[in-house]
Structure 1
Amino acid sequence: MIPKLIFSDIDGTLINSGDELSKENIETIKKLSSKDIPFILVSARSPEEMIDYYHCLELNTPFISYNGGIISKYEHNRFKIISDICIDPKETEFVYEIIRTRFPTISLSLYSNTKWYASKLDKGVQYQKELNGLSPVIMDLKELIQTGAPIHKIMMIGKTDVIIEAEKILKKNTHLTSSIHRSGAYHLEVTNKKATKKNAVKFIIEQLYNIDANQVMAMGDNYNDWGMLKYVGLGVAMGNAPQEIRDSVKFSTDTCINNGVAQAIERFVLRR
């Protein structure tokens, strides 16, 4: 059966380690439009960090940001939020105070709706700017929290040993219901525990496309992709995914460096 809908992670899946979207992936994905098969981006990134890839692929589909914290569309040169799940405001304030008092060397950022906020251009923020090519809104983060602005992601950047210690301290606070996870050697992120890629995929296929999960294909490479890969009928693990993930799903493809996304689409959709 040819899938009626395709979801794809970005980092480590659609793009290579240099944040490059290959010509092979672009050309193959664009072939889907002639078959009326929507291609939907899924990422832990913010909407603004995803939009260049969205435009490059000439998409007009909804897309999933913050691991499911926001589902949005891009229409008339602006983001239209379809669904969002925020962190509990009390938990945002608690995490902020713990990090500021106990881990002053950690760079702390907040993401509200589509915007990135930081209190200053420290080393961590400069590092993130180089990764995503964006600049944050500079303001007092405590003031932002006190305004009641919806916070969809808390991001911390620091030395690996400090990040690991901060993760341990936060997870020891059993009253915290938020999801606390490392997304890289230098990154620690906090999101609402209900903000998962699986839940966002489920929302889209049921509420926006009204199709069965067995008619859906998803591709990913990491643990935050695991839920959606096992939920859909055709979950495809990248060749660079951990062995545990590759062993848990029926299908796998080549690595992100070798255009695994294009190869999977050719194999399972275009049948070439």
Structure 2
Amino acid sequence: MHKASATNSAATDIKLLVVDIDGTIAGESNNLTSKVLQAIAAVKAKKIKVAIATGRMYRSALRFHQQLNSTLPLLAYQGAWIQDPITQKIHRHLTVSREMAEKLLDYFEQPELRSLLSVHFYINDELYVRELTRETEIYAERSGIVPIVVGDLRSSLSNEPTKILALCDDIDIIKDLLGNLRSLYTPAELYLTTSVATFFEATNPLVNKGTAVRYLAEEMLGLQRTNVMTIGDNFNDLEMLEYAGIGVAMGNAPAEVQAIATWVAPSVEQDGAATAIEKFLL
């Protein structure tokens, strides 16, 4: 793999740093620490561009993008929605077909699953839910988003969803959900992942953070993968860690994510992203 030989010498080629938010630059506090902000500012002072790639809604991620003073488009919804906050231009928006959204909803609403899952549809950067569950309320508070309660989610499908999320506090239920739906749908039909152990996520098959970072680096900035460093902490970060010349996994990342990384940083609560930035870029 192209990662194995990555060393500090490769860092001299880095012109773009892409970071995830939750579990990477923002921990339990849901805020950026001064140490992370200082490291990012130092990177930008070296004329290295900084971008965010997140599973979050665009609106929910915007405050982090602003705190980093990024001049680049924001890669939201695993990269399904790429928008420049300065010009407001949407560079990419890939959705889940209405037919596929209805199929997933049918699956989630099976009698044995219905009461266990909180289902979220993200349409035009709004959050639509069947009902306000405890999981949804916690999610909404962390995201800073007010959910729109619609009862039957099919009624929200006049436009196609950017992303579909199923939440459950029981990690095993989410694991089973991911396994079962991966056996039902090929990667050519849906991109299925988990961003945290309790979040099952489905997007357009062309969407993942790897394709989004490639689009930003190669199509928009004229860079190569060797010019890119990425930092992430979960399964939805795998593709961008594999794509980058330097892919850093957080110490709080699952073992499978750490295994494909160039380097494993300390955990988010230990400001691991800042440590990685200092090691490779400063």
Q: TM-score, normalised by structure 1?
A: 0.88
The CA RMSD measured in Å over matched residues stands at: 2.2
1:70, 1:113 within 8 Å by CA — same for their partners in 2?
no
In structure 1, the partner of 2:198 is 186
- Tell me the SS of whatever aligns to 2:252: coil
After TM superposition, list the pairs within 5 Å mapping 1:97-246 onto structure 2.
Answer: 97-102=106-111, 103-105=113-115, 106-139=117-150, 140-145=152-157, 147=158, 149-160=159-170, 162-174=173-185, 177-246=189-258
Taking a change above 3 Å as real, the CA distance of residues 174 and 15 of structure 1, as seen in their structure-2 partners, is: closer
Distance in 1, matches of 2:50 and 2:224, equals: 16
- Tell me the SS of whatever aligns to 1:74: coil
- Tell me the SS of whatever aligns to 1:43: coil
Q: Count residues with an aligned counterpart.
A: 266
Distance in 2, matches of 1:104 and 1:187, equals: 15
2:19, 2:53 within 8 Å by CA — same for their partners in 1?
yes
1:39, 1:59 within 8 Å by CA — same for their partners in 2?
yes
Distance in 1, matches of 2:265 and 2:168, equals: 33
Query: Which stretches in structure 1 are left out of the alignment for 5+ residues?
Result: none
Distance in 2, matches of 1:164 and 1:240, equals: 18
Shift of 1:192: 1.8
Query: Which stretches in structure 2 are left out of the alignment for 5+ residues?
Result: 1-11
In structure 2, the partner of 1:259 is 271
In structure 2, the partner of 1:49 is 60
- Tell me the SS of whatever aligns to 1:249: coil
1:2, 1:269 within 8 Å by CA — same for their partners in 2?
no
Distance in 2, matches of 1:231 and 1:162, equals: 30
2:131, 2:149 within 8 Å by CA — same for their partners in 1?
yes
2:194, 2:234 within 8 Å by CA — same for their partners in 1?
no
Distance in 2, matches of 1:54 and 1:36, equals: 17
1:63, 1:71 within 8 Å by CA — same for their partners in 2?
yes
- Tell me the SS of whatever aligns to 1:257: helix
In structure 1, the partner of 2:5 is none
Distance in 2, matches of 1:211 and 1:183, equals: 27
Q: TM-score, normalised by structure 2?
A: 0.85
